[in-house]
Amino acid sequence: MHLPQNLSSAGSTAYTRAEFERFRENLSKHLGRSITDDATQHSLELYNKVRSLTRALYDHRRKHAGAIAASDLYAVVQAGTRMMPEDFIPLLEQFLEQVSMRKVRARDGAKVVIEEAFCEQPPIGLLEVIEAAGCMVKDDDLMIGWRLFPEDVGLNGDPLGSLADAYLKSNIYTSVRHDRDRPRTEGLMRRVADASAEAVLFAPAKFCEPALLDYVLFRWRLEQGAMPHLKVEFEEKMWTFENVRWEIETFAESMLFD
């Protein structure tokens, strides 16, 4: 699909809906059957439920730091990308019920937001090290493509139009789209404020130039707001994290004992 670059244009909604329509028609030809508005609406209802439960998990972690390990939440959301929503929804409901019943033991730790690169997800081992080294992850932008809409997509009888509106007007910041009226640097600052975080950890892949260019913008905005931050890069198939652990421990201790 060719999604719009100018989200503020008067013609963006019609253009985006037309692209979704074109995609649906091509997919219908490939499958050899039609995809009706009713079927599309039903799919939106299912994924609205997935998104709602996922948001509830993230909201619970923001309010109860340590209730859900960063690696566990990441693994759960990633699992949903490989499952049908009908199968994933009961598992999300069960997981949310379980974590809501957990008794969280208070501990000291630097409350952080993880901001990673859009091109590659960090290894789970890195997420485990971040928390083991003295940080409490309050929020992150991992698996952001599956968490793009911060609220349910509207169900007004025109599912493609509703999806176009959601993409243009109701999604969160990401490096793969430019929104003139909602800069992603301000999106990061809102994420930090909403999570009551004390610092930001950047976790880009090594040698990913677009991510490093983004880091320049984010770093400039964080320094304007006097917000502590640390950049830890990872490599593909990275399996040892001792040097990274030392960096994060030093950073966390500087936050706790400053």
Q: 40-53: per-residue pLDDT in tens? A: 999 999 999 999 99
Token pair 């039903």 is found at: 42
pTM > 0.95: yes or no: no
Backbone angles phi, psi at 256, to 5 degrees: -75, -35
**What local confidence, expressed as pLDDT, does residue 107 receive?**
81
CATH number of 12-256: 3.40.50.11900
Candidate from 43-47, 52-56, 174-178, 217-221 with smallest mean pLDDT: 174-178
Cβ neighbours for 225, distance < 8 A, ≥ 6 positions apart = 189
Cβ neighbours for 45, distance < 8 A, ≥ 6 positions apart = 155
Distance from CA of residue 143 to its chain's centroid? Answer: 5
Query: For residue 199, what are the β-bridge partners?
Result: 112
Identify the CA nearest to 205 among candidates 196, 214, 194: 214
Answer yes or no: is pLDDT of 2 > 70: yes
**How confident is residue 117, by pLDDT bands cut at 50, 70 and 90?**
low
Residue 190, Cβ neighbours under 10 Å: how many? 12
d(CA 233, CA 203): 5
Cβ neighbours for 111, distance < 8 A, ≥ 6 positions apart = 65, 135, 136, 138, 195, 196, 197, 198, 199
The predicted model gives 128-156 an average pLDDT of 92
Cβ neighbours for 253, distance < 8 A, ≥ 6 positions apart = 134
**What local confidence, expressed as pLDDT, does residue 188 receive?**
94
Q: What is the DSSP letter of 147?
A: G
Strand ranges (E), the chain: 110-116, 135-140, 199-203, 229-231
Q: What percent of the chain has pLDDT over 70?
A: 99
Two structure tokens written together for 164 = 């176009």
The predicted model gives 174-202 an average pLDDT of 90
Contact between residue 112 and residue 197 where contact means Cβ atoms under 8 Å apart: yes
For the chain, domain boundaries? 12-256
